[in-house]
Amino acid sequence: MSYNIYHNLLIKASSKEVFDAVSQPEHLDNWWTLKSSGKPELNSEYNLNFTDTYNWFCKVSKVKENESFHLKMTDSDKDWNPTTFGFDLEVKENATYLKFSHKNWPENNEHFKHSSFCWAMLLYDLKNYLEKGIIIPFEERN
């Protein structure tokens, strides 16, 4: 059995702006990572760096420009390693409906629950970044 996280939200931005914010390293670093690298191309490797201890790697498992972007973890901690997370986008009247998923967690443990909460907070930061241009310094993010 595996466990999944789902969060959906409406962002008042174009699907291109949302896609770029979840797939382009220069945008990821403004709402999620400390520093990241990668290209939104199938099987491209991404480096998601949060600290020296949390310096993770993943590969693009699904990508369709301005519609979907998913990453499969390849080198992280034991809970995240079997997981895939992604963003599916749907245009809704001058906005983008973002459907987030983080699938295949091995256990419904404290780390799973904490990560679900963190994703909700980070997605709120993503919304504020795109709608209001707010960038929270990395050390102040939850």
Q: Domain limits at 61?
A: 3-140
Stated pTM of the model: 0.96
Phi and psi of 27, rounded to 5°? -90, -40
CA nearest neighbour of 20 among 91, 89, 94, 100: 89
Q: What percent of the chain has pLDDT over 90?
A: 96
- pLDDT tens-digit series, residues 24-47: 999 999 999 999 999 999 999 999
- pLDDT tens-digit series, residues 35-86: 999 999 999 999 999 999 999 999 999 999 999 999 999 999 999 999 999 9
CATH number at residue 21: 3.30.530.20
Structure tokens at 123: 């997605």
Rounded CA separation 55/41 (Å): 21
Query: What's the total number of domains in the chain?
Result: 1
Judged against a pLDDT cut of 90, whether residue 142 lies above it is answered with: no
